[in-house]
Structure formats: C-alpha cells, structure tokens
Structure 1
Amino acid sequence: GIYLEFTAGLWSGAGSLYLLSLGFILLLLSRYFLGRYGGNKQPWHGLLKPVFGGLLIAFLGLNYLPKWDLTQDRRFTLSEPTRDVLAGLDQPIFVDVLLAGDLPQSFQRLTQETQTLLNRYALENELLISTLDPTQMAGTDPQLLDQLAEFGIQASQVTVKRNARQESVLLYPYALVTYGGRTVSVPLLKNTLGAEMQERITESVRHLEYAFTDALIQLSRPKLKKIAIMRGNEEASDQNLTGFIEAIKPYYFVGAFTLDSVAKNPTGTLEALKGYDLIVLADPKEAFTPEEKLVLDQFIMSGGRSLWLVDGARVPELDESGQTLAMGQSLELTDLFFAYGLRINPNLVLDVFSAPITLATGEVAGAYTQFPWWFSPMAQDSGTHPIMAHVDGVKLDYVSSIDTLPSGPKKTVLLQSSPRSKILGLPYVIDLNREIDTQIQMIQEAGADNTDSSRNNLKSDQPFGLAAFNENALPMAVLLEGNFKSAFANRVLPFDLKNPSKESPSNKMVVIADGAVIQNKVQRGQALPLGYDSWTKAQFGNKEFLLNTVNYLLGDSGLINIRNKQINVPFLDPERTPQGRSGFLALNLVLPLLIIGIFGGLLQWFRHRQYAR
C-alpha cells in the first residue's frame, strides 16, 4: 500500500519512517546472527533497547506522521468544504462500494481512486469501508437486487475494450453511504454526453469527492432554507417539475406559492412571500398584473433570490402536419427586467450545435431516425462561472436571446450559443419537414465544394447557407449579482405599500430565456429524469446546471467549488498495450537481473582490487 501510494504521488511520512525502522531492526538482527556464526558472540539482551526503540518509532510514525500530496492536481487533498462537513459529523460513516468483481482495467482504476478518496475521508472521521459484488451476492440473496433498486441502483451494461476486443460487461458503479440510520446511493460512474469510456472515467474520478460529500450533506445537515415554486400564471405543471423538485428537496424546503391572492390581499401576499429565500418562476404563460409585479419586485428588493425561466417566444406543439406558428410572448415583464439590467428578446436562437430530433421514418412500425434540429441548442461549459464547471451539455428548446445592459448589477453569461448560431425573427411558421430538409441540405453543402452555391452567394451581400449562422456566443442565461433598483421607483404604485424599497441589498438573480430547460418529459404518465431524452438515451446536464444554480443563489457554493477540482487520470493506450506486451514482460524480467549483475560485477571488481594489494 505504501508503494502504491508513493507511485501515485502520495508520500507518506508515516510509511517511510515505518519502513526505515523495520529496516533498521532487520539490520541489527542480521548483524547479531552473522556475528554469532563468525565467532563474535554478543549478549542477546543488548538488542532489546535498539529493537524496542525501532518498534516504538515505527508505531509512532505509522499513527501520527502525516501524508504529503505531491501531485500537481492535488487529487489526494480534500477540499475545505469536505473537511468542514466531516468535522461536523459525530457518528461513524459506513460506505459499501458496489463496484467489485472481475472489472475491466478502466473500472479497476475507478475503484482504486474511490478507495483512495475514502481512505482520505477516514483520516478526517470514523469511516468504515466495505466492498460488495452484487452480481455474486445475488446468487445467495435473490432479494438483494430488489433492495438495491429501492435506492435507484440498476445494473449498467458497459461496452469496454479488453485485450483488443469489445466486451459487454454488467456492472454496478455505485456506493451506499449510511449515516445516522439513513442511507443514500452515490453514483460512481458519471454520464458524460458523447464521451469515450476513458473520458467518462476521468470525469467520474473528478466527480467522486463532490458525490460523496453531497451524500454526507444530505444525510447530516438539516434543511434551513425555503424555496417557493410560483403558481398563478400558468406555470409548468408539478409533473413536469418532478425532476427539479426531487433534485432540490434533499437540501431545501420546497412548496408552492400562488399569486392569486394578490388581487384580494397584496400586502399580506408580499409578507408571506418574504418568508421564502428563493422563488422559482418556471415557464409562465399568463401575463403578470401590475400588482403581481410589485409583489415580485419588492420581494427582490428585500433581498429574496429569484430564478426566472421565461420564454421570449410562444411556440405551440406541432400539429398533425408538422407545423406551428412561433410568435413573440409578452408577459408584461419587460419593464421589470429592464430595471434589473437585461432584456429577453422576442426571437428564437438557432444553433448548429444542437440536440437531434427523433422521428418515425419509413413504412415499418418502430423505425425511428434522428435528424438535426437547430431549435434545440446545447450549451456547453464556457468557463465563465463555477455554476457550469464540468456540467454536461444543457439542452434548451425554442430559446430566445438575452441582451444585457451596461448599467445595474454585475452580469455573467451562464449559457450561450455556439459560434455557429443565428437569430430567427418572429412571427415565423415552423414546418418540420421543411426545416429538416433545409438543415440537412446546409450540412451537405458545407461538406462539399458546391460551386453553384458559391456563385449564387456572390450575387448577394447576404450570407448564404451555413454562412448565415455567424452569430457567436448569444446569451441565453444570465446571472445578475449586486444591488438591484426597483422597477417601481418614482412610479405610482398599483396598491398602497408603506415604505417601499427603491434598491435592494446585495442580491443574486438568474434569468434563463427558456422555460423548457427545467421541465422533465412525461412518458406513459411517469415523469422521466430531468434532462433525459428517452429517444436518444442521452442524459443532458440540465439537472446539474439547475441544482448548481439554486445552490449558488442560496449561498451554498461549497459543493460547486468541489466540482471545479481538476484531476487528470493517466491511462494506458488500449491499442498499443497488447502490441508491446511481450516487450514489457521481457523488460521486467531481464532488467532486474541486468541491474543485479552490474552491481555484483562492480562489487567483485572493487573487492578484487582491494585485496589484490
């Protein structure tokens, strides 16, 4: 274990002193027995003091000397939020690692990194680690797999390369963490969109500390802050918000709050709303009245945090012919947002880097094909803020662009379009067949040397084809931080309010120009996971993004900082390793013998030279 730690970059002062002490004791014993055979007899009790001294030093070193992290990415150093969480625990922690058995090489690395991390946790608090193989144990305990399913643990079928061959392996990449009589599951393998297995393992290793610390927070910390899911303006249904609510419930109290009572008792509604720490407005479709806007404005002026998910365009579902009319949507929030320093534009963002749409094709039932659909942009980590750090692509639908004003609070763009994007003015008739045919044609023309297109393009100053997608980094979600000025300052108020606030204390707000990003799909009456596409089996980063956003707005940024940790995991090349296997085996066999032979020859030469004189 000491050797493996040292080769990984973790130098143990305790282990080094332990080995030196044992080496010192072995040298003393060797000297004593060699002296006896050589006629130089020494009393055995003369060894007691140095031997016991060496054992004492070894014991003290093994239990009290620290370990030093020599790695560049500090992978073996726990972050400050993790140490704070462990310091606040007063009961033992039990961890059952389920990733065991005959594992492929990449998963052996994941298991090793998990064990190493948990060993670091154990240095900070009492932690008991056990390794279980559910596949093997299921033979003797048929109920085990059903029990694991209650914690959301299902077997993952993973395709890996082993000995230059593709193999399908059934694994359980999870761990169970138990504290205070409660248990939660921790996924060890992270779903990274479009990534190879080694990339997924690297991302999973980076995610381990976040996952285990998050589990301990869920098990140990009481809920203190309250989140209001706003109702009364045709917001998204509870079923479509199931994934979001389930994601934030382990950390916060969550409840619905309706603005219908504003019409009868606006002052009382405002005072009740101030009892919450964060309001979430998820895809409202009905315009807000002046009284409702004043209640929301004064909640923000009192220091309340807010998450707005508002469409700039109203796009009904496609009809039977595959058509719909997209029009600008007015929720009467323009003056509110303008006072806070931004504007949601009544348009649509088209992005070449987008999620596909799956459609039935052909005459055979059950035949489906994926087509490009540039109305569903995928926003990636832009490196602008920790909220988006290491988050998979966030899928949006019929999203609008946001303009930020130079005045007002500090603005940080969280989600933006790719360099190949375009603004589509409204109203606009979306025809499914026409859009797909046009997008496919543009892709084909971009990949071929189409002289006719180039010649036609010279006749007009307007960009043609994919060249028209030249808008870069269009803002689609913005974080605002600072002091907000009231939209009702120096205006006649829609209802009497004593001492209305004209400016807020330091506050935070996130505005996303898409109401679909927070909604999960519903299939056969059951809510699917947030960000999951049942057609492509892809898991997008919507859930992580929104959870990070809520955590940041409410000041719980410790876990976000853990997520920012950069860890690089080196792997052997799976293609070159089998080719050089014989050479490595021969080198491991011959090189030690060669080194011993060289040292033996030099020793004999020195002895011959010394005694020849």
Structure 2
Amino acid sequence: MLTKKTFFTVIGTVITVVILLNILFWFFKVRFDFTADKAYTLSEPTINILNELKQPVTVTAWISEDLPPDLNKTKDDFEDLLAEYESAAGANFIYKTENPKDGAKAEQEGISPLLLDIREKDQVKQQKIYFGAVVKFGTQSEVIPVVQPGTSMEFSLTTKIKKMAALKKSTVGYLQGHGEPSMQEVAQLMQELSITMEVVPVDLHDTLNIPEEVKTILIVAPKDTIPDEHLQLLDKFLKNGGRIFAAVNRIDINMQTQEVEEVKTGLEDFLKTKGISIIPDVVHDKSCATITVQQQQGGMIFQTPIKLPDIPIITSFAAIPPLAGLDGVTLMFPSSIDTIPGSGFKFTVLAATSSGSGLNILPYRIDLQREWSEADFPVAHIPVSVLAEANRDNNGAKIAVISDGDFIVNGQGQNAQQIQEDNISFVVNMVDFFTDNSGLAALRNKKVTTRPIDPNLGDDSKFIIKYLNFFAPIILAVLFGFWRYSRRKSVIAELEKEDWSGKSQPGGKIIERPSSRGSGSRGPTNRGLDKEEGDENSDTENLSGKNEKENE
C-alpha cells in the first residue's frame, strides 16, 4: 500500500532527478535525430567552416510575430538551427531575433515582405510579414531575403558564411563557341554555381591553353562541330588533372516531322577515347513525366495530360555524397551510355533508369498517341550518366557525362522556363564536387525527402496500399478497444468470485475482516458490519442513559 511518506519520497526523487538532468544537459548537450537523412543535425562541412572562422559571424533574424502555424514551425526550426550554430562555433557565432514591426528597418536591411492570405472568422485578409535574416562577417554582409519553409536552411546559412569567409573562390570554365547555350540561357544554373564558385566563359578560339585557374570545364549541349585542336586542348586539360562535366545531346528531334535524328559534334568521339560511349538511341521508362497536349474535338480544343515514357524521371543514383538526397531528375529524350574497359579510367554509373525501361533504336519517331504496354519496358537500370575517374598516373582527371544537354537549359525571352530544383542540383553538386569538394554539394540536398510510392507498382498494389493506410489504424483502434473491454470484463468476473463475507472458506480457512482502525482498505460487507456494531453500541449507551434518569 502507498503511504503518504512513500508518496512524497517518490515525488521528491523524481524532482531531484529532473533537476540534476537539467544541470547535466546544460553543460553537455545531447540531441537525438531520428530522421533518415539527419535533417536536424549540423553536417560535417558546416562544422568545418565554423571551426575555420577567424572572426565572429553575426546573424540577425527579422521575424514577425503572429505567424501562421506552418511558418511558426519554420520559425522554431530556424531558431533551433541558429542555436546549433552558436553551440558549434562558440564565440565566433552570435545571433539575435528582431521584431520588424512596421518593416522599415527590415526592408532597409534587404529583407523582403511576404503577403499571406489569412482566414479569420470566415473572412480572408492579407497580412504582411517578414521572415528573413542578415548575415554579417566583418565589413561584409549577405542577406537571406526570405527563409522558405521546406528548404535547406542550413545550406543557405552555411553558403552565406563561406562566401564571405573564403579568401578566394574556385573557378569554373563554361565552354562557348560551338553552339552551346549562352550563360543567360542557363541563368538558373549560373546563379547556383556563383554561390560558391566563380564561373567564367571559355572560348577555345581565342586561347592556346585553358587558363590555369580553371579547375573544371562545363560543357552544355554543343550543336556545332568541335574542331580537333579544341579537343586536343581539352585532352591536355585532362592530362594536367582537370575535370570535365559534359551534358551532351546525342539525338535531336525534328519538330516538324517528330523524327529523331543523330547528332555529331566530335565530342562523342573524344569521349569514346576515354571509355564513354553515348549511343544514338532514345531511352524510355515507366517512371516518366506528364506533358499537356492540345486535342481538338467537335470544334473545341482541350488540354489533355498524358504520360510520355520518352521523358523519364530518374530516381536511381550512385551512392556518393554529391547525389545524396536527390529525389528525381527529369531528362528530355536521353540516350543510353556504355563504358569501354581498358581506357585508363574506372567507371561509376551516376544515374540509371528504373527496373521498367527500354530502348528505341533509330530510326524512331516520337508518337504522342502511342499505346504503351508492358512489353515496351523489358530492360532494367539503363545508364544515362557516368563518372570516369583516371588512374593515378593521369593526375586525378575526372569526367562526368549525362546524355541530355537540355535538362538544365532555361532558354530566354518568352521561351524561358523554370527548371526543377533537382536537375540543377545534379549538375551544381557534381561541379562543386570536382572543383571545391568542401562537402557543400551534399549539404545542398539536405532536406526531409519525400517518400513516393514506387512508380513500378501495379494499380492493384497501389489500391491495396492506399486503403490499407486508411483502414489499418481504424481496425487496430477497434481491436484494442475490444481487448480492453474483454480484459476489464474478466477482472470484474474474478472480483465477483471473491468471498467478501468474512466467513470460512472450504477447507477451514477463515478470511479475517480488517479492523476498522487499521489503515488498510475494507470491502463493503466489512463497512456494513462496522456500521451495525456501531449502531448496537449506540443503542446500549442510550438505554443506560435512560435508566440513570429514571433512577434519579
């Protein structure tokens, strides 16, 4: 039985343990991150950059009050992240949170206001909020205009610090002069590369050597023939330990006839000497993008979405840091890649199709009305991107090739389009891996990744998974309720079998009735007996009192 003394002893012990644990964790901070990609733990590159700081970094977070619930969660995450930075960097990291109020000072610092639609009392009104940060390092200053929920806040913050703290950026050369898109046509790619690197145009018509400061050459979708002397310069660049990332179109589509045509620039022959052979074919995959086509029926035009396997979504990537965290890269009519052994390079498949894919050999025509069947997807894991690393005697040269040159091209003017984030990240991470290798490539992809259903599952399997997720929790809750009800009923039945009368049991055993003065619990029969005894004593006292009065 739990006495008063025992109760207060337990409560005192619990309070003491909690106080001691708080004191202990004040000096020794411990966190447990159970997310698959450690989304809430500072990465090694961030810690290394913070440890190399020579002077303090100051971060001022301008965050409005009365944020909507989703932004409130982001605010908590951002403030926790700042606390982690402070813990890792010590005196070299200082942060504070400011309320922008009317926003005048925040906008002066470069923080952009956000207009949100807020629903209150069945009415929708617009609310202007501020949610950004200013990072200062010495006399330099960088701004995060808006902290976007769902993005890698750590990458944004760490790259701002690295950009200011780095004495010199690494240089990347962007090849021009052979029909490649201009740097403005790949604006989204250039913007991401410029965060940690300096990108300069390289025109081999104007030089006898590639500049020494250039560590990586980026080649995107050349259309014209590349002269032999230019290929020789690229070969010399590789022999000196240079790195090349090439996004190459091996086929082109005639937009009038929809016929697929082979593309020859000379670069394919150059890559073949390095053991990389891009085949002039078209890869298709069950995991593919949906496009919208116009269809005319009865004099009316309809926008119809259709799945086009010739535009695969690649979700199978090599297990290397630059590609960790990528969800899916969408390619436009890619080709398959073979590798040739004995060329002095070792090969790694960077990206491949799913287990349900196939090849279309030239001549081939794009048919949007084609009815695809299971027989069209007999091949698994066709390589569409390959990494070639030279042996030690070649000074560490590296070549990464992907068989689509248009998947990172925005275009310009009215034809400009936004490229999905993972397409850009694929190239930027590999270039960063070649050029800087500070680990920011993996940090860029750090996020709570989505877990979509496997696209190769059939409709029946998807149907079962869908309704299993819906009904399973309900069924489990009902079963648990029945179990509790059955258990409680059994306990009551057992209690009803007990003899609470205090009479002897078979075998001569007597159940003693607890004393009314004891501290133990008593059954209802005992309480009734005690009450009867008390009534008898009371009656006796009343009679004796009455007799005494009569005698008087």
Q: Secondary structure in 2 aligned to 1:277?
A: strand
User: RMSD value over aligned CA atoms?
Assistant: 4.2
2:489 matched residue in structure 1 = none
Q: Distance in 2 between matches of 1:399 and 1:551?
A: 23
What's the offset of the Cα at 1:308? Answer: 0.7
Deviation at 1:562? Answer: 3.7
Q: Is the 8 A contact 1:69 1:76 kept in 2?
A: no
CA-CA distance at 1:132 after TM superposition: 4.8
Q: Which string of whole-angstrom CA distances, capped at 9 and with x for unpartnered residues, describes residues 225-274 of structure 1?
A: 2111111211112331111111111222211111224xxxxxx512x444
Q: Partner residue of 2:135?
A: 178
Deviation at 1:303, TM superposition (A): 0.8
- Give the distance between the partners of 1:401 and 1:547, measured in 2 at CA: 22
Please say which of residues 419-428 and 72-81 is displaced more in the overlay. Answer: 72-81
Change (3 A) 1:21 1:504: closer
**Structure 1 CA distance for aligned equivalents of residues 273 and 407 of structure 2:** 25
Given candidates 534, 544, 552, the residue that maps to 2:425 is 544
Amino acid of the structure 1 residue aligned with 2:391: N
Are the equivalent residues in 1 in contact too, given 2:240–2:397 (CA < 8 A)?
Answer: no
Whole-angstrom distance in 1 between the partners of 2:315 and 2:146? 22
Q: Could you say which residue in structure 1 is the equivalent of 2:330?
A: 395
| Rounded Cα–Cα distance in structure 2 between residues aligned with 1:567 and 1:99 | 25
Partner of 2:153: 208
Aligned to 1:269: 208
Question: Which stretches in structure 2 are left out of the alignment for 5+ residues?
Answer: 1-14, 451-468, 478-517, 521-552
Single out whichever of 92-101 and 250-259 deviates more from structure 2: 92-101
Q: 1:116 aligns with which of 77, 80, 83?
A: 80
List alignment gaps of at least 5 residues for structure 1: 1-14, 23-57, 191-200, 262-267, 443-464, 485-502, 532-538, 581-606
Cα deviation for residue 188 of structure 1 reads 4.5
Q: Which of these residues, 357, 364, 369, is aligned with residue 421 of structure 1?
A: 357
Match of 1:411 in 2: 347
Cα drift, residue 114 of structure 1: 2.1
- The answer on whether the counterparts of 2:336 and 2:383 sit within 8 Å (CA) in structure 1 is yes
Determine helix, strand or coil for the equivalent of 1:377: strand
Other-structure match for 1:278 = 216
The Cα offsets for residues 203-243 of structure 1, whole Å up to 9 and x where unpaired, read as x4xx3323321232223324332111111211112331111
Distance 1:350 1:399 in 2: 8
Distance (whole Å) between structure 2 residues aligned to residue 347 and residue 157 of structure 1: 49
Aligned 8 A contact 2:64 2:129 in 1: yes
CA 1:301/1:568 → structure 2, altered by over 3 Å: closer, same or farther?
A: closer
Paired residue for 2:52?
Answer: 88
Corresponding residue for 1:506? Answer: 396
Quick one: structure 1 residues 157 and 550, their matched pair in 2 at CA, closer, same or farther if it must change by over 3 Å?
A: farther
**Percentage identity across paired residues of the two chains:** 23
1:75: Cα distance to partner?
6.2
1:283 Cα deviation from its structure 2 partner: 0.4
Question: Within 5 A, what are the aligned runs for 1:353-364?
Answer: 353-362=287-296
Judge conservation of contact 1:17–1:62 (CA < 8 Å) in 2: no
In 1, distance between residues paired with 2:402 and 2:52? 36
- Distance of aligned partners of 1:466 and 1:75 in 2 relative to their CA distance in 1, 3 Å threshold: closer
3-state SS, counterpart of residue 400 of structure 2 = strand
In the TM superposition, what is the alpha-carbon distance from 1:553 to its structure 2 partner?
A: 0.9
Aligned residues of 2:318 and 2:349 also touching (Cα < 8 A): no
Q: Which of 248, 264, 277 in structure 2 is aligned with 1:310? A: 248
Task: Give the SS at the match of 1:331.
Answer: coil
| 1:386–1:564 CA contact under 8 A, matched in 2 | no
- Note the C-alpha offset of 1:366: 9.2
1:413-464 C-alpha deviation (Å, 9 max, x unpaired): 222222222211123233xxxx2221xx43xxxxxxxxxxxxxxxxxxxxxx
Higher Cα Rg, which structure: 2
Give the paired residue count.
437
Is the aligned partner of 1:483 residue 2:391? yes
What is the CA-CA distance between 1:143 and the residue it aligns to? 9.8
> In the alignment, is residue 129 of structure 1 matched against residue 91 of structure 2?
no
Q: 1:524 to 1:93 in 2, by over 3 A?
A: same
Q: Which string of whole-angstrom CA distances, capped at 9 and with x for unpartnered residues, describes residues 522-581 of structure 1?
A: 3527x544x1xxxxxxx3411211111111111424123445768799xxx99999xx9x
Q: Equivalents in 1 of 2:64, 2:316: separation in Å?
A: 29
1:253 correspondence with 2:198? yes
SS of the residue aligned with 2:287?
coil
Contact 2:113 2:128 in 1 (8 A): no
What is the CA deviation profile of residues 93-114 of structure 1, one whole-angstrom value per residue up to 9, with x for unaligned ones? 213154753423x544333222
Which amino acid is the alignment partner of residue 103 of structure 1?
A: P
Paired AA for residue 380 in structure 2: N
